[in-house]
Amino acid sequence: MNKRTLLLTPGPATLSNTVKQAMTIDHGTWDSEYKDVTQKIRTALLKIGHAAEDKYTSILLQGSGTYGVEATLSTAISRGTDTVLIAANGAYGRRMSEIADYAGISHLDICFKDTEPIDEKIVLEMIKKHSEITHFALVHNETTTGIVNPLSNLLPKLHSLGIITIVDAMSSFGGIPLDLNELKPDYLISSSNKCVQGAPGFAFIIANKKVLANTAGNSASLSLDLYQQYLCFENNAGKWRFTSPTHVVFAFYEALLELQDEGGVKARYLRYSQLEQQLRNGLKTLGFEPLIAAKYQSPVITSFKYPSSSFNFDNFYLYLKNHGFIIYPGKITEVASFRIGNIGAVYSKDIARLLRTIKDYLLRNQPKTSNQ
């Protein structure tokens, strides 16, 4: 087995050596240097998202990306008075509905096929039909399949209608260019272990300050109260409310510096896109058909159909793992598929080696003929 295992997944991602090294030093949560780094991260996130500092703020929250989604939904939406419309075309959109059920949040759902993008016309028709809708939520890059949902026309229209918008940008922020000043989302959620290329440990939310200011008392959770988390950062110079993942925070700060050194989000998007094209074209040559049409495909993760009914994914997975690659199984039940991610410290030579390894696997596992 190779010493270096590549995580070809949508997060956690393969980390650079310098990001890993940043986690080898211990830090105190009350230390002024640590609080200063936290504040620098909060400011950097706004710059990455092109979010004006007078309008938006950023909030860090211990836990996975789902913690960030749950904190946002349960804080942003008032139980008993508000209703959120959730548009879903994958497992993570449907998870929002599950969170709403647990939190006692009133919600309406529009479900689309996992292989098709969310249709903004249907969303707008639903909002026109249901005057009780106050909020709207969707996943930007649905990692169930790798499909990208449209934001550029839909979000500004909803903003003009007075609808508060919540965007799960878990697998797009830092890897796909986003301009929050133009899109006008009220909440955008991502996490440390995705396209910024840090380690798992915390989520972050970019929130409209005016909208957030009206959410005091909404959350039924102590630790997931986004408004109180925001106040603690603001009133205590970057102090987290509860014990925070100090090592991960410093690693994330290093990852932000490396994103800047790479040329920012546009440069990273270009690298991811080139890797996705290399992967897509290479696997098509080897007989694997992409699940999502190219025009809807994100550069972050790509789903491929099994090449035949006899294809054994478990054997395929173990062969790749033994040769230094970790991939993901498929997450939809309608089509037998698997997923390969392009984010992290992954480059063209790595995808080329992966393709050679897959070709070797196929040669070794060809169906035997009667003459053999």
Please count the structural domains in the chain. 2
Tell me which residue of 143, 135, 164 sits closest to 93, measured CA to CA.
Answer: 143
> Residue 370: its pLDDT value, please?
46
Same domain for 72 and 167, yes or no, is yes
**193 and 293 belong to one structural domain:** no
For residue 33, the 8-state DSSP code is H
Query: Quick check: 371 pLDDT over 90?
Result: no
Q: Looking at this protein, which amino acid is placed at residue 3?
A: K
13-71 residue pLDDT tens: 999 999 999 999 999 999 999 999 999 999 999 999 999 999 999 999 999 999 999 99
Question: Residue 141 falls within a domain, yes or no?
Answer: yes
| Same-domain status, 219 and 313 | no
The enclosing domain of 333 has a CATH number of 3.90.1150.10
18 located within any domain: no
- Other C-beta atoms lying within 10 Å of the C-beta of residue 353: 15
Query: Residues near 335 by Cβ (< 8 Å), separated by ≥ 6?
Result: 115, 291, 305
350 and 281 share a domain?
A: yes
pTM greater than 0.85 (yes/no):
yes
Q: How many other β-carbons are positioned within 10 Å of the β-carbon of residue 52?
A: 11
Residue 243 phi, psi (nearest 5): -55, 125
Count the Cβ atoms, other than its own, within 10 Å of residue 60: 24
Give residue 367's pLDDT: 67
Q: What's the pLDDT score for residue 4?
A: 74
- 196-210 exposure pattern, b = at least 16 Cβ within 10 A, e = fewer: bbbbbbbbbbbbbee
